[in-house]
Structure 1
């Protein structure tokens, strides 16, 4: 039997959301069962935000277009297209797009994103 040497992902798992954010997971828990890393294409709509969270995984974000706000403790960090950030596991963070244009970005989580490990606070 020949060992697989690559996998082209043409049909990412689209995570159902209620806040208008698009999450297309290409690799990770929901798409291919990978628990070590997740890679997702994300689109945060204009005027979007989610509650603070304190995940058990590192999250890397690369902004493709638009802008995204990161609130860590009392510090606000703005990222624009071409910029990236690494949020260390155990950091309390809030993600938002308070701007008038959508923000398209890549999110990479290590280990892979899992709802039970994100620890979102109630809004």
Structure 2
């Protein structure tokens, strides 16, 4: 009988050049799932990425530290224990301008892809 569950012991580690650690447990890069992606992230102090307008909903749950979001011009800061949903087609910038690492879980529906994130140059 085929198992009706999957344990992920070897998430896909996304190569980065900015010190951020991204381990995708489920999603396009790890198991080919296009409907959802679930990643464990660690953003170093001082990290930021360009503004983007993703074609997916993104849920973020902060485990440790703080993370800054600039959402359609409004600055929002979340800390450990808080979560947020940002609707697809919303212009957003993610950053950690603080002095400690921010550890969080990101869930995207449909799954994260570089083709659908629409990062600005």
Task: Tell me the TM-score range normalised by the shorter chain.
Answer: over 0.9
Instruction: Map 1:66-77 onto structure 2 (within 5 A).
Output: 66-77=65-76
Instruction: Map 1:81-120 onto structure 2 (within 5 A).
Output: 81-120=80-119
- The 1-side partners of 2:88 and 2:72 are apart by 14
Aligned-residue Cα RMSD (Å) equals 0.6
Q: What runs of 5+ residues in structure 1 fail to find an aligned partner? A: none
Deviation string for 1:21-59 (max 9, x for gaps)?
A: 100000000000000000000000000000000000000
**What's the offset of the Cα at 1:108?**
0.2
- Structure-1 residue corresponding to 2:39: 40
- The answer to whether residue 11 in structure 2 is matched with residue 27 in structure 1 is no
- TM-score (normalizing by structure 2): 0.98
- The 1-side partners of 2:118 and 2:35 are apart by 18
Deviation string for 1:53-95 (max 9, x for gaps)?
A: 0000000000000000000122100000000000000000000
Q: Which runs of 4+ in 1 moved over 4 A?
A: none
- The 1-side partners of 2:72 and 2:29 are apart by 30
- Structure-1 residue corresponding to 2:14: 15
**What's the offset of the Cα at 1:4?**
2.7
